Amino acid sequence: VFFILRKKQEQVTFLHVYHHGTMLFNWWSGVKYVPGGQAFFIGMLNSFVHIFMYGYYALASLGPQMHRYLWWKRYLTIMQLCQFVAIAAHSSYNLFTECPFPDGFNIAVFLYILSLIALFLHFYYRTYTRGKQ
């Protein structure tokens, strides 16, 4: 919504719409059906990463004079990818332990996270690798 209001339609990508469009359902189902427990890890890790993301967006919103301080955007994407790998590992580990967290949710989280890893890797390649060649 902010991209559209700022007339930055080129920033509205499939990755953006998919990720944010599915988050409402994902968080609702997690809070409704499996609050606390193993879901806590996902929420805490996601919140930690978002501290850095919103710090980046806050600096970016201050105008072009702040752009020299935004050299770490690439590392923000790497941090997001590391978050997804940690969540995938966590979800898959839970499938092989005596964890009371429902296997169906672990599988759903794992598959969803794989889709995010694929989309974010594609974004990373397109943004940081392909442009440098």
How far is residue 13's CA from residue 30's CA, in Å, rounded to a whole number? Answer: 26
Tokens linked to 36: 């606390």
Q: pTM, whole model, 2 decimals? A: 0.86
pLDDT recorded at residue 102: 92
Out of 16, 19, 50, 90, pick the active-site residue.
Answer: 19
Is 50 among the catalytic positions?
no
Can you give the pLDDT of all 133 residues of the chain as single tens digits? 445 555 566 667 899 889 989 999 998 998 899 887 788 899 899 999 999 999 998 999 899 999 999 999 999 999 999 999 999 999 999 999 988 889 999 999 999 999 999 999 999 999 999 766 5
How far is residue 102's CA from residue 132's CA, in Å, rounded to a whole number? Answer: 44
Domain ranges of the chain: 73-128
pLDDT recorded at residue 123: 93
Residue pointed to by tokens 């332990």: 97
